[in-house]
Structures are given as C-alpha cells and as structure tokens.
Amino acid sequence: MADLSAFPITRRWPARHPDRLQLYSLNTPNGVKVSIMLEEIGLPYEGHLIDIGKNETWTPEFLSLNPNGKIPAILDPDGPGGQPLALFESGAILVYLAEKTGQLLSADPATRYETLQWVMFQMAAIGPMFGQVGFFHKFAGKAFEDKRPLERYVAESKRLLGVLETRLEGRDWIMGPYSIADVATLGWVRNLIGFYEARDLVDFDSLTNVPAWLERGLARPAVQRGLESPARV
C-alpha cells in the first residue's frame, strides 16, 4: 500500500484509501473539471472537499501541495515510475490523467495538439472572462456604479460563446469525439447561465450549437456524478 505520509496535506485530510488517487477540490467550474474527468475515465479516487469559504486553501497543509492556494489539486500514489505525484492546475491535471489512462486525448500528434489548444482556450479565455461576468453581475462587483467593467466582460463572453458556437457547427463535441476539451469547458458554460445568472445577459438562447452541446454534456452520467464531487457533508 502506498505511503503518503511524506505529504503534509494528508495530515489535515487523511487518506482513507491511500492506494487511490487523492482529489482535493470543490465543485466550482475549475474543480469539476477534474472530478468529471475522473468519473469519465473510471479511475478510482478519494475526494476531499476543500472549503474555500473557510479559506482552507490557504492553510499550510494545502499550500504544501499547491503553493498558489487554489483548487483543484491531486496526489496520485501511482505516478510516473510508480512514485507518488502531487499536481495542481486543472489543465495540467486533465492532460496528466488523459495520458495516464490513454483516454479523452488522442495519441495522434496533430489531433492531440489541436485538443490542447481548445483546453488552453478555456483556461486563458472562457474561464477568466466568465468569472469576471460572475463577479460584476452577481457578486460584490454588482455594487460598482461604473458599469463599464461588466459591459466589457459581457461583450467578451458573448464573443467567446460565438467562437464556441462556430466550432461546434457540425460537431457533437469540440473535437468531434468527446475529449478533455469538453471536460474543461462544460462546467464553465453551465455556471455562466446557471449560478452566475447571466443567461439573458449573454444572449445564450440566441445560440444553437452551444446549448445543444451543453445539454448533451450534462446528460452524461459521469458528468452528473462529477458535478457533485467531492460530496458536500
């Protein structure tokens, strides 16, 4: 059985199943990328809920795994060479899990890089822009008298949705076959029109391909399980 005692995070969040991949996360749009991926590929894992509302990502134990203080992060007892591997950044984790299992990322070099560009599109554009819409539309930013920041991020989010709409023309999924590009993006689009309450703001219902893609994605059993993991207690 793997010995994870050298990792300080296991002192605060003990591993009941140290032979399984350890997930430290919360079901935010970034967090669910990894839980959905784990459910899709069927890799056994143990989820630990990290309460960002209680600043648990800033504890010494969590920072020992991710010095950037963000979820999600993983600890794989069976990493490269059979040695434990700690990893943070959701995009890096998706690539790692895809390559570890040979799933949801093509082995063909050209297709692989094309898939990765869409993962980076989510991380560099969709995530940051949609998150700003959420801040300025629903949270503290809505009290700002100057509405230009909200207008800027709404306009950019609408543009990004348009990029996705064009990409999905004639495709069920971003790459044709389901891939880590979809896993990375589904939670963010869901959050934008749901939790962030920006459906009308970004004219979501004027689109055709993106809503159909989101509906297909949310109908996947693994996606539904991943959206609820780690379970809240």
Query: For residue range 65-105, what is the model confidence (pLDDT) as tens digits?
Result: 999 999 999 999 999 999 999 999 999 999 999 999 999 99
- 141 vs 62: CA distance, rounded Å: 28
User: 183 and 227 in contact (C-beta within 8 Å)?
Assistant: no
Which of 52, 76, 104 is the last residue in one of the domains? 104
Beta strand segments in the chain, E: 21-25, 45-49, 73-76, 85-88
Find the domain containing 38 and state its range.
9-104
Q: Count the domains in the chain.
A: 2
Backbone torsion region of residue 7, taken as left when φ is above 0, otherwise alpha when ψ lies between -120 and 50, otherwise beta: beta
Flag whether 175 is in a domain: yes
Flag whether 69 is in a domain: yes
Q: How confident is the model at residue 233 (pLDDT cuts 50, 70, 90)?
A: low
pLDDT of 1 strictly over 80: no
CATH of residue 77's domain is 3.40.30.10
Flag whether 37 is in a domain: yes
